[in-house]
Chains A and B, each alone.
Chain A
């Protein structure tokens, strides 16, 4: 189907719509609009939809023919070799590219190892004077080495010396874990496959969510954004009603822009979710969605604070670089503890302190108000710095309250 549209320019726009593939019409137009399909193509379709006779059948004019036949040809080609199917065109070339990247990362990792050794040789006390610039430069080197995971960790190292009392302990911990990661990378061939996958993802190699897709009613537990100068990262926690698994979806946006994926907290999605590789990783990708989000009474079962920290400890077996694990705390009461707050078990004498970040958020007060001194159930992240509450509820029949 084709048509000419009188535009503001001298020549009319040449608009072609290909309806041969019933599922997905294709469009082309000579107009400069960046909307796709452009209004001319839509107009043409409307004309045709309103009255099929308005667009009589005929031979394609010479300006429409090459595009149409080009499409037909591409469509006719078996999808394995070109077009359609994802994946590299040439497995051999892809392997070589991956090897080159691995070499580059190894070179970067070795260099980073040297930096760490220099730091420890000269003493961490000197790091306080060295300032942020040194780390920023090292992080840039890691970006060059195509190891964004290492770069992010290095950048965080740079912020530690100014982060208040106890910084040498934190700096040593993070340096040691970075050293561990670098060593893990350099010896990845000798690691068990799952741990090697974890190391690869921690270093920053992109993986594919190739786990088997799990269809379930996924409760959206929490959604929150963290932003740095370059990137806005959105984390969405899901809980599968039947499989009982907790999965993390990540979505990114350029600095200052909201990431694309947004899910309504407290509702359930009927959808498929596929896990990313690696031991102890919660990350997953959202696959097909079968229905729009609906209210649900599904809530993850909770554990006690004592069990929550134990669960974090167990998770470190699979991934020693893990900062926190998703946990639902059952029957806890927010309790002021000096300047800080903790979530105290209603049934025993144990409690989890909140992380410093969680203390500064307005969500803390929503949690305190919701509880009013009575037990509530709280979903959040439990790690070595404490607990970060993300969502809370009183009863299953009541809605959830977001805290982030």
Chain B
């Protein structure tokens, strides 16, 4: 039993123990204190016990205090406006499973709005109200995609809390740079000690934090203990060099190409090939350009492909995986890897001074086109080469763009990622206005939020066309959901005309009109809600 203190008087404690023992055994077996026996004994025992119980309770005293925790660090950020704090509480309360039933009707999906709420609050640099932190940490615990933004918003007090509750350990791991616990730039000794003695997660966090401040220092730290690290750890540490990768990392990566572990070698090669000026890139360019040539003997210039005949040790050292997955020809497998790692900038010179667009337009002999273009796509993504990405994407309205052509939708989405936000939105808008929405989901996912005006209009028009064509809205639920989150709230007024339930008699799909109206209502409600959210987060002074 939880006692706030010992009873007042020690002798009373003894008497109480005696009473408990007697009661436990029964008055038939043991005579209660006071000597009552027979029929009177139970009542006598209970009476004594009642006196003792009230006496014990009335005599409680406060307990000695345990060691107090260090106070949480101050959060210097300005306080969140009250209306925004209420909104956040509402968003956090809308957890999956708490809403009744699957169909949402016209009610907005609040949980889906949390990421952008957090992004907006972080952009304005508000401090989270402390009492919201537990709900915020619980939400971030359930959804890893929320963690970076949620933890940034939650601030130093959330880390302080996470140290007290094992459920929130993830916050200590995931915290960018572990915040308070990590040594500052000046504390060389502490850095050295943490690096040499810390847990793996702490070391990864430390490396990432230093890499952010001072890329070279992180590399030197890693190089100092490189030989003694375990293979899995080497892989993770190497991966953390991906941020802020630059030409000065080349010697270290070049050295890692000779690593004992195959995965470490492959990662090092991948990082090097993302540096177009590296020696590895030059070697790969030589090998790759031996495989592709322009054949002028035909009527139209055509790309002729000669896949490598063998994968030698040097190629393997440069990251080419010799063993092809089952079902794939060895030579095309090697070719794909070479083309992917070769710097794209070398091709125009190799292929008669043609621009990327012209090179992509060239016919390819012997059915190699798919293989070739797919490899170039991967290269364009890896090297973040916008000119090549543009060339490989082609015109959004091109007939091949809609179907599963040489370049798949997933690749297209990645290629779009290398372009600027405006260009991306324009391309996807053009794509949707020609090909409709059925293939657009993945492409929409890479567009910047909120959608640029032309893109938003293209999506709304396409939805409108889909409705008039007699589709049901759930065929477009993915795009609808995206639109709810990504459409610019300023577009809400343009949707007013779509909210009405159309005349059923002319409707080819029974009931669809009503469902469309409901879907558009939810869209508009969500947009209004987002506008309100943005308004609440605006600072009071303007």
A232 to B161 Cα, complex, angstroms: 33
**Is A366 a contact of B4 with CB atoms below 8 Å?**
no
Complex interface residues of chain A between 308 and 355 (CB less than 8 A to chain B): 308-309, 312-314, 316-317, 320, 333, 335-338, 340, 342, 344-345, 348-353, 355
Name which residue of chain A comes closest to B40, CB basis: A117
In this complex, the member of A177, A308, A317, A369 whose beta carbon has the largest number of chain B beta carbons within 10 angstroms is: A369
Within 8 A of A (CB), among B1-56: 1-2, 4-5, 19-20, 23-29, 41-43, 45-47, 49-50, 52-54, 56
A176–B49 touching, CB < 8 Å: yes
Chain B contacts for A71, CB-based, 8 A: none
Residues of B within 8 Å of A179, CB to CB, are 43, 46-47, 49-50
A261 within 8 A of B: no
Given A117-B42, A169-B20, A386-B2, A369 and B133 contact (CB-CB distance below 8 Å): yes
Chain B neighbourhood of A337, CB < 8 A: 66
Asked whether any CB of chain A lies closer than 8 Å to the CB of B165, the reply is yes
Q: Is B246 an interface residue (CB 8 A)?
A: no
| Complex Cα gap A192–B134 (Å) | 50
Question: Once bound together, how far apart are the Cα atoms of A368 and B132, in whole Å?
Answer: 11
Are B42 and A355 interface neighbours, CB within 8 A?
Answer: no
Question: Is B46 touching A365 in the complex (CB atoms < 8 A)?
Answer: no
Q: Are A306 and B46 in contact (CB under 8 A)?
A: no
Q: Is the CB of A170 within 8 A of B133?
A: no
A338 to B28, CA, bound (A): 41
Do residues B43 and A169 form an inter-chain contact, with CB atoms below 8 A? no
B157 at the interface (CB under 8 A from A): yes
Residue of A nearest to B133 (CB): A369
Q: Contact between A168 and B24 (Cβ–Cβ < 8 Å)?
A: yes
Complex interface: chain A residues within 8 A of B26 (CB): 120-126
Contact-residue bracket for chain B = 35 or more
Cα A344 to Cα B495 in complex, Å, equals 57
Query: For A372, what are the chain B residues with a Cβ–Cβ distance below 8 Å?
Result: 71-72, 130, 157, 160
Select one of B2, B46, B63 contacting A356, CB under 8 A: B2
For A55, the chain B residues whose CB sits under 8 A away are none
Residues of A close to B505: CB separation below 8 A = none
CB of B25 within 8 A of CB of A123, answer yes
Interface check A285, CB cutoff 8 A: no
Given A175-B49, A335-B66, A342-B65: A366 in contact with B131 (beta carbons within 8 A): yes
B164 on the interface (CB 8 Å rule)?
Answer: yes
Contact A120 B46 (CB under 8 A): yes
With A305-B62, A368-B161 already in contact, the answer to whether A320 and B54 are too (CB < 8 A) is yes
**Which residues A338-388 have CB closer than 8 A to chain B?**
338, 340, 342, 344-345, 348-353, 355-356, 362, 365-366, 368-370, 372-374, 384-386
Interface size class of A (residues with CB under 8 A): 35 or more
B313, CB-defined interface residue at 8 Å:
no
The answer to whether A365 and B134 touch across the interface, beta carbons within 8 angstroms, is yes
Q: Tell me the bound Cα distance from A118 to B23 in angstroms.
A: 11
- The CA-CA distance from A72 to B171 in the complex, in Å, is 73
> Is A9 an interface position by the 8 A CB rule?
no
Q: Which residues of A contact B19 (CB under 8 A)?
A: 172
* Cα of A308 to Cα of B60 in the assembled complex, Å: 10
Distance of B149 from chain A, by nearest CB (Å): 19
Verify A370–B58 contact, CB threshold 8 A: no
What is the distance, in angstroms, from A131's C-beta to the closest C-beta of chain B? 17
Given the known interface contacts A168-B24, A170-B1, the answer about A335 and B72 at a Cβ–Cβ threshold of 8 Å is: no
Q: Which residues of A contact B133 (CB under 8 A)?
A: 365, 369
Cross-chain contact A353 with B63 (CB below 8 angstroms) = yes
Instruction: Find chain B residues with CB under 8 A from A169 CB.
Output: 1, 20
Provide the residues of chain A in CB contact with B28, threshold 8 Å.
Answer: 121-123
B157, A120: Cβ atoms closer than 8 Å: no
| Nearest A residue (CB) for B158 | A369
Known A-B contacts A124-B23, A168-B20, A344-B66; the reply to A313 vs B58 at CB < 8 A is: yes
Check if A196 is an interface residue, CB within 8 A of chain B: no
Q: Tell me if B104 counts as interface (CB < 8 A to partner A).
A: no
Q: Which residues of B contact A373 (CB under 8 A)?
A: 68-72, 160
Cα of A385 to Cα of B46 in the assembled complex, Å: 21
Q: How far is the CA of A337 from the CA of B20 in the complex (A)?
A: 28
Contact present for B46 and A176 (CB under 8 Å) = yes
Query: Out of A312, A314, A344, A386, which one reaches B68, CB within 8 Å?
Result: A344
What are the residues of chain B within 8 A of A258 when measuring CB–CB? none
Find out whether the CB atom of A120 lies under 8 angstroms from the CB atom of B27: yes
Contact B67 A335 (CB under 8 A): yes
Chain B residue at minimal CB-CB distance from A180: B50
Q: How far in angstroms is the closest Cβ of chain B from A348? A: 8
Rounded to whole Å, the gap between the CB of A109 and the closest CB of chain B is 13
Identify the closest chain A residue to B74 (Cβ).
A372
User: Does any Cβ of A come within 8 Å of B59's Cβ?
Assistant: yes
A349 to B69, CA, bound (A): 14
Confirm or deny: B57 has a beta carbon within 8 angstroms of a beta carbon on chain A.
yes
Task: Note all chain B residues with C-beta closer than 8 A to A306.
Answer: 61-62
Could you mark each residue 161-187 of chain A with 1 if its beta carbon is under 8 Å from any beta carbon of chain B, else 0?
000001011101101110110010000
With both beta carbons as reference points, the residue of chain B lying nearest to A384 in the complex is identified as: B57
Chain A residues with CB under 8 Å of B66's CB are 335-338, 342, 344, 351
Q: Separation in Å of the A337 CB from the closest CB of chain B?
A: 4
- Interchain residue pairs A-B with the least CB separation, the first 6: A123-B26, A373-B71, A372-B72, A176-B49, A350-B62, A344-B65
B positions within 8 Å CB-CB of A: 1-2, 4-5, 19-20, 23-29, 41-43, 45-47, 49-50, 52-54, 56-72, 130-134, 157, 160-161, 164-165
Could you jot down 19 A-B contacts, CB within 8 Å? A116-B42, A120-B26, A123-B23, A123-B24, A176-B50, A177-B53, A306-B61, A312-B60, A313-B58, A314-B58, A316-B57, A333-B68, A335-B65, A342-B63, A352-B62, A366-B131, A372-B130, A384-B56, A385-B1
